[in-house]
Structure 1
Amino acid sequence: MAETRELATTATGPLAGIRILDLTSVVFGSYATQILGDQGAEVIKIEDPGSGRGDGGDIMRWAGHVPQGAPRDLGPIFLTINRNKRSVVVDMKDPATKPLMEALIR
């Protein structure tokens, strides 16, 4: 019989305690920051509200066939290359978002 183990409640790995702000979109940058998240870094994906597709965010949200019943903005490619991340939509062209970005950087 297989042993049952609990999942970690905090990040582990060599990058635990490091925060990464992911300002990338599409595939390569998201894949790179996914690897950092896999190594324990706290990765926060900052998405643009004016991407031109859907309700904003990374255009990869809408790439690929979304399984029936799944949210249309969580395509399989997006989910694969953005695991171990949190995300927020921020209009960095709006000066009112400067305090939010400064807080995330701190």
Structure 2
Amino acid sequence: MLGLVVLAKREFEAWFLAAAESLRGRRGLPVDLSAPAAPEEIRGAKEWLSNQMPPTRGYSSTTDQPALAAVVDIESARRADSFDKFYREVVALVKTLSEGEANAIA
């Protein structure tokens, strides 16, 4: 049985920070949002996102996380080393599973 475990460094939201430009204008984020230089080194990625939103809004992992995950740019998110690792592992797993199906059919 195949499995895969890859964790975000510090917080899941660090992946959003790496791809911040792709989230411009979404969920109250500013239209000129830019990714911080080292997104995975920021302690408090949720707070960073909250600070970019209007003061009365703030970031909510319950509602904002799924909405932002649906639109985040995968290639930009790969700037975060842990997301890039996740991406590469998923691609390898899909390739392995596809090869297994091809061998089962042959």
State the TM-score bracket (shorter-chain normalisation): under 0.3
- The two structures have a TM-score, normalised by structure 2, of 0.24
Structure ranking higher on relative contact order (CA contacts 8 Å, 6+ apart): 2
- The two structures have a TM-score, normalised by structure 1, of 0.24
Higher strand share: 1
Higher helix share: 2
- In our comparison, the structure showing a higher alpha carbon Rg is 2
